[in-house]
Structure formats: C-alpha cells, structure tokens
Structure 1
Amino acid sequence: MRLPSIPAVSHVPGVAELTGLVEQVLAAGPRLAALLAQADRLVREIDRLVGEADGLVQRIETTRAEAQRVVRLTDNTRLRADKLVAAFEPHLGPLERLQPTLERLADTTDPAEVDALVALIDTLPVLAGQVEGDVLPVMRSLSSVAPDVHDLLDLTRELNAMLGKVPGLGRMKRKVDEQQSDE
C-alpha cells in the first residue's frame, strides 16, 4: 500500500506567510534586546536624575529658608537703623559739621596709631593715679623749693669762681667745660 504523499510545507496554505512572520520576529530579537537595554539605561538615568532633582529641591528649600532668615534679619536691622536715625536726627547738624573732620581723621590715621591710642587709653587709669599721687605733690612743693634752688645756683657760681682762682684748677675747669660743650 502506498502512503499518500505529504505536501511540502511551502505548499501548505499560510505556512509561508507564517514562516516569514517567524523570521521577522527572530530578526527583530536583537533589536528588541537592544531596545530593552536602552530602556533599562533610560530607567537608571531617570532614577539618577530624580535623585539629583530631589537633592536640588532640598537645596532650594534650604536656600529659601536661609533667604527668609536673611529677610528677617534685614527687617530687624532696618528697624534698628530707623531707631538710630530717629535718635540721632536732632543731632544731625553737629554730626554733619563733624563729617569733614571725621573723614580727614579716617584718611590720615594709620592702624599703628589706633593701636597706640588704644594702648594709651588702657594705661590712662594707672598714669592718672601716678600723676595724682606722685607728680602733683612734687609740683605743689616746687614753689617752696624755688628759693632754695636759687641759693644753690648762687653758691655753685661762687664755688666755680673760687675754683677758677686756685692755681692749676683753671685749666682743668676749662678742659671740663670744653668736654661738656662737645657732648
């Protein structure tokens, strides 16, 4: 008995179209894999960008909070400045007259001079105490010392004249006078 013959696959209706379709799907596989890889990279990039955006939003919030704090400080400073201006307003005339003097002082004052002035101010209490305790009593007693000083000066002149008359001391006296005048 003879078996019936099996038609070739290419003769079966629709198989050729199905084969072409399968070939197209198989050919699209690598492209589909590449697209999936790109989609995966895009998803990771989007995740990274979202993370950066979150950080950026956080920094913006911090900056906004800091800006609000600066605005509050500025408002407080403005209020304080307004109070100062109001307090000094009656005195603006003298301050305006002093302005050229203050500008000149600022232009001509060296930092070393300011440091020296600060050091002097720091020593003023001690200096005032010494002047009051030591110098002023001496100054008060000078009026009573003046006649004694005049007497000593007269006596010194007389001694000088007597020494000039002693033989040999005249030359010595001139030599001492010359040395003192050279110095």
Structure 2
Amino acid sequence: MAIPLPRPSTVVGLTRSALDQALGSAASFAAVPARAFAVLDDVEALLARINGVVDRIEQTLDRTDRVLDDAESVAARASEAVGTAAEAAATAAEVLTAYEPALRRAAPMTSRFVEQLSHEEVTAAIRLIDELPKLREHLTGDILPILATLDRVGPDLHDLLDVTRDLKLAVAGIPGLNVLRRRGEKLTEDNGDPGA
C-alpha cells in the first residue's frame, strides 16, 4: 500500500494552520500576564476597600466600647442617685409621719391666715424684719437697762407724790393766790382759749 503524500498546498495550509494556532496560543499566553496583572490590580483595589471598611468597623467598635464604658459609669451614678433619692424619700416619709397630726390641725389655720394677708401686710412684715437688728440694739442698749431699774422706780414715785401733795398744800396757803388764779383765768378767757 502506498502512502499518499500530501500536496504542497495542503502542507502549506497545514503549516499555516499550525502557525496560526501557535501564534494564537502565544498571543493568549502573552495576554495572560496582562490579564493576571489587571486581576491583581483589581484584587489590590478590593483589598484596599476591604481594609478601609475594616478600619471603619474598628473605629465604630472603639466608639461603641467608649459608649458602653460611659453607659456603665452613667448607670453607676444613676444607681447612686436612686439610692440617695430612696434615702431622702424614707426620711421625708418619717418626718411626714411624725408631723402629720400637727400639720393636719394647722392646715385650716394656715389657710385662713394666708387668705387674710394683704400685700401691704406682707410688705410691712418684711420692713419690720429689716428693722429687727436696730430694734435688738435699742432693746439691749436702752430699754432693758431701764427695765432693770423699775424695781426702784415704785418707791421713788411714791416719794415724788408725797412731795407734790406737800407742795400743793403749801401753795394753797400762800396769801393772795386766789387773786392770781382768777387773774390768770380772765387772761385765758380774753385770749379766747377754748380749753379754759
């Protein structure tokens, strides 16, 4: 059997086809690094974006931690405030319980007192309170020393009354006193004194 030999045009065609395939493969292989670099660039850009997102997440977590720490301190202060308020409420309840009967009795009187007060009376009371330091000074400096000597005034007053009686009797015995008295009454009438 004889092996047919290919024709030169077939050999050229096959050679061309092989060359085209080799060139296509070479071009494909040559394009692989460029595409690989483009993919790597895309991957690097994606990694940069992911790093940015991770940084923002870390910042948000840091802020969240600070907020949680602040919330814990606020909660502790609020707990202290609630404890203080509870103690104050307990004290107020004890005071109200102790003074409740007196307050209930005083309520109508207090209402009546407040209803009776006028603005002028309140103003006068304020002025009186403003004058209390002067009043205290005069009481301690002037009036109380005089009051301390009142136990001696009674006998002195009796002595003065005795002397006045004696003087009246002595004056009544002076000759011509009645004439002087009448003359004084006449002068008083002439002047139009209505009290005579």
**Shift of residue 51 of structure 1?**
0.9
Q: Residue 62 in 1 paired to residue 77 in 2?
A: yes
Quote the sequence identity (%).
11
SS at match of 2:149: helix
- The residue type paired with residue 10 of structure 1 is A
Q: TM-score, normalised by structure 1?
A: 0.57
Within-5 A mapping of 1:112-151? 112-117=127-132, 120=135, 129-149=144-164, 151=167
Superposition misfits of 4+ residues, deviation over 6 angstroms: 125-128
User: Rg bigger for which structure?
Assistant: 2
Report the secondary structure of 1:44's partner residue.
helix
Residue in structure 2 matched with residue 80 of structure 1 by the alignment: 95
Name the CA shift for 1:127/1:146 in 2 (closer, same or farther; >3 Å).
same
CA offset digits 1:74-119 (Å, max 9, x no partner): 1221122111114x27x81x76346423664596334332243476
The corresponding residue for 1:96 is 108
In the TM superposition, what is the alpha-carbon distance from 1:47 to its structure 2 partner? 0.3
Matched with 1:26 is 41
Larger RCO: 1 or 2 (CA < 8 Å, sep 6+): 2
Where in structure 1 are there 5+ consecutive unaligned residues? 165-183
Distance in 1 between residues matched to 2:113 and 2:28, nearest whole Å = 115
Q: Compared with structure 1, are the counterparts of its residues 121 and 106 closer, same or farther at alpha carbon in structure 2 (3 Å cutoff)?
A: farther
Count how many residue pairs are aligned between Structure 1 and Structure 2.
Answer: 148
SS in 2 for 1:40: helix
Task: Give 1:31 deviation, angstroms.
Answer: 3.7
How far residue 43 of structure 1 moved from its aligned partner, in angstroms, is: 0.7
Secondary structure at 1:54 match in 2: helix
CA distance in 2, matches of 1:115, 1:62: 43
Residue in 1 that maps onto 2:63: 48
Q: For 2:163, give the aligned amino acid.
A: D
**Match of 2:113, as an amino acid?**
T
Change (3 A) 1:44 1:11: closer
Match of 1:38 in 2: 53
Deviating more after overlay: 115-124 vs 30-39: 115-124
- 1:10: which partner in 2? 27
Deviation of residue 72 (structure 1)?
Answer: 1.7
Letter aligned with residue 49 of structure 2: A
C-alpha root-mean-square deviation of aligned residues, in Å?
Answer: 4.1
